[in-house]
Amino acid sequence: MRREIYCDSCKEETEHTLINPSRNLFRCDICGLVTEFLPEKKIELRAIISTDDRSERGKIEVSGSETLQKGQEIVVETEEGFKIGEITSIELRNGKRVEISSSNEIETVWLRDVGEVKVRISLHKGSVTTPFEIYTAGEVEFSVGEIIPVEGRNYRITRIKLINGGLLRKDGRSAKAKEIRRIYARFIR
């Protein structure tokens, strides 16, 4: 068995080979230094991940000393499979909600699904505004000035409202789908 371990002699992470499984002894493949390595224990935390107006239970696996914080993205295991979630809140064992905590103090991690997100778009044509929604990967970028086709018509993005309250107005400014609250677009001929 081989794994990357920090070597005190090489002063960096190097490949090590297991030489004694009962004592967890590994030898550095570069300098030959033998070291004991005890892998950190993993713990499972309850996770509630929300997709639009629907929430589901899941779990995340982290090391006991890991620190989690609001805004961090992490993989959540659910009945439907694995999802990428952004932490929106952390609930401690005493019921208190915090933005950052060591994983061994956490009861539940609350997240929003950022793997596939719903992007709301306000389509303007003359004096008529029509709401429209698309589902896309959270990493897809939209830019002010970009032309988007919707149901056979072309619309130019004029503004992008962000979840954090910001507003993008200048051409070329962009945001990822997971950061967007609403896109405003105007019909072009």
- The full set of domain ranges for the chain reads 2-36, 42-113, 116-188
Residues with Cβ < 8 Å from 88, sequence gap 6 or more?
50, 70, 110, 111, 112
By the 10 Å C-beta count (0-12 exposed, 13-18 middle, 19+ buried), 95 is classed as exposed
pLDDT for the residue numbered 169: 96
pLDDT for the residue numbered 159: 97
pLDDT for the residue numbered 76: 95
151: its two tokens: 């149901």
Q: Taking the domain 42-113, which CATH number applies?
A: 2.30.30
94-115 confidence digits (pLDDT tens) = 999 999 999 989 999 999 999 8
Phi-psi region of 88 (alpha: psi -120 to 50; beta: other; left: phi over 0): alpha
pLDDT for the residue numbered 127: 92
128-181 confidence digits (pLDDT tens) = 999 999 999 999 999 999 999 999 999 999 999 999 999 999 999 999 999 999
Q: What is the pTM of this model?
A: 0.70
pLDDT band at 16 (very low <50, low <70, confident <90, very high): very high
Phi-psi region of 175 (alpha: psi -120 to 50; beta: other; left: phi over 0): beta
> What is the distance, to the nearest Å, from the Cα of residue 112 to the centroid of all Cα atoms in its chain?
9
77: its two tokens: 């295991």
The per-residue pLDDT of the chain, averaged, comes to: 93
Percent of the chain surpassing pLDDT 90: 82
pLDDT band at 1 (very low <50, low <70, confident <90, very high): confident
Cα distances (angstroms) measured from residue 180 to each of 44, 51, 175: 31, 14, 7
At residue 113, the 3 state secondary structure works out as strand
27-73 confidence digits (pLDDT tens) = 999 999 999 988 778 899 999 999 878 999 999 999 888 899 999 99
pLDDT for the residue numbered 42: 87
Residue 163: phi and psi, rounded to 5, are -60, -35
